[in-house]
Amino acid sequence: MQHRRLVAGLAALAATALSLGLAGCSTSSAADTTSSSTSAISSKRCAENKAAGPITYLSGYQYQSSASILEYIAASKLGYFKDLCLDVRLKPGSGDTAQNTKLLASGQASISAIAEQDLIQARANGIDITGVSSYSNAGLDILMTNKDITKLTQLDGKVVGNKGFVPAAVEAMMIKAGVDWKSLQQVKEGYDPTVLPRKQGGLEALTGFISNEPNLLRAAGDPVTVWQPVKYGIPSSIGAMAANPAFAKAHPTAVEDVLRAAIHAYQYCSSSDAHVTQCVGYAADLSGATYDKAQNAKIWKTEVKTIADNPTPGQPLGGIDPANVTKLVAMLHQYDIVPGSVTASDAKGWFDDRYVDAIYQGGKLVWPAP
């Protein structure tokens, strides 16, 4: 799952965030943007984008400041969508990836944050959506241990906590590192990461997300060792987006320019601490008084760093790596997540890189649109 429920300091967010059925945030008005009131693109392209009508963006989890969420909020608030004649309506997702894929396939959403591995699984189950971009082959899923664990094989026979299941990427990493998988005592834990430093119930390791639990534990004075699957060559994705196929086919310039505006906003929001504060503030405005700005700023900075440390080979930001798709299919086969009848060739056809290709020239994002 690409996005998720927060723990500890962010738990109250769920109670105050807008529900999926509410209006969310429409494209920015002149009062809350820094753009001009006129279009920045040609009249022809402007007309094409306006013809797309309202475009519903569905987040992965509420208005958390994660990659694939914060930049879309910022693109709306900064007026980037308006500059490209796009009427983008923001909707907060519940954290249920399966629900997002169904809303996207049914046309109730136009574009949504869907991890590459989740898209493959959805398509294998007959849910028709198209992958249109991804920021990195790294993933957010991690394993945490206390500092006394210096190699993963020390976990043999030990208690390992998870949130209902061990993510495939984490399991693949542990097995590749030589862990005796069958010897592990797996237990389901809640969303309080402090059970790890307290070694509650003999706990020696805990699954989590790189931008969340490690930051919370570090702030509490309990640093842990973080084990990342990407460092073991395990495939995943961050910031991947998918679109409704019918919408994308009917309005290709709109899909291009939604991605263009979001990536432009990503560059803005990651360019300085002041911009991080500004962009996280936009998310806080949508979420309510309980939104933890400090923790969300850490989430954003951590994910941006992870993406920068693990650029997609041979691709600009947003480009899709076919080799990663092939590796994901192999991993999903290994853990019986998708049937063997799903081939790498099938999966590659479920992603379309034409939209990202169209917004770059010479490896640089073209802003505004032609």
The domains of the chain are located at 8-137+237-365, 141-232
Residue 309: phi, psi to the nearest 5? -75, -20
CATH number assigned to the domain covering 8-137+237-365:
3.40.190.10
Those residues with Cβ within 8 angstroms of residue 319's Cβ, 6 or more apart along the chain or in another chain:
133, 134, 312, 353, 356, 357
Residue-by-residue pLDDT tens, the chain, 370 positions? 443 333 333 333 333 333 333 333 333 333 333 333 467 899 999 999 999 999 999 999 999 999 999 999 999 999 999 999 999 999 999 999 999 999 999 999 999 999 999 999 999 999 999 999 999 999 999 999 999 999 999 999 999 999 999 999 999 999 999 999 999 999 999 889 999 999 999 999 999 999 999 999 999 999 999 999 999 999 999 999 999 999 999 999 999 999 999 999 999 999 999 999 999 999 999 999 999 999 999 999 999 999 999 999 999 999 999 999 999 999 999 999 999 999 999 999 999 999 999 999 999 999 999 8
Q: Is the peptide bond before 368 cis (omega within 30 degrees of 0)?
A: yes
Tell me the one-letter amino acid at 78: L
- In DSSP notation, 154-195 reads GGTT-EEEESSS--HHHHHHHHHTT--GGG-EEEE--S-GGG
- Residues 71 and 82: their CA atoms lie apart, in Å, by 15
What size, in residues, is the chain? 370
Q: Do domains 8-137+237-365 and 141-232 have the same CATH topology?
A: yes
* CATH class of the domain comprising 141-232: alpha beta
Q: Tell me what percent of the chain is helix, strand and coil, each rounded to the nearest 5.
A: 45, 15, 40
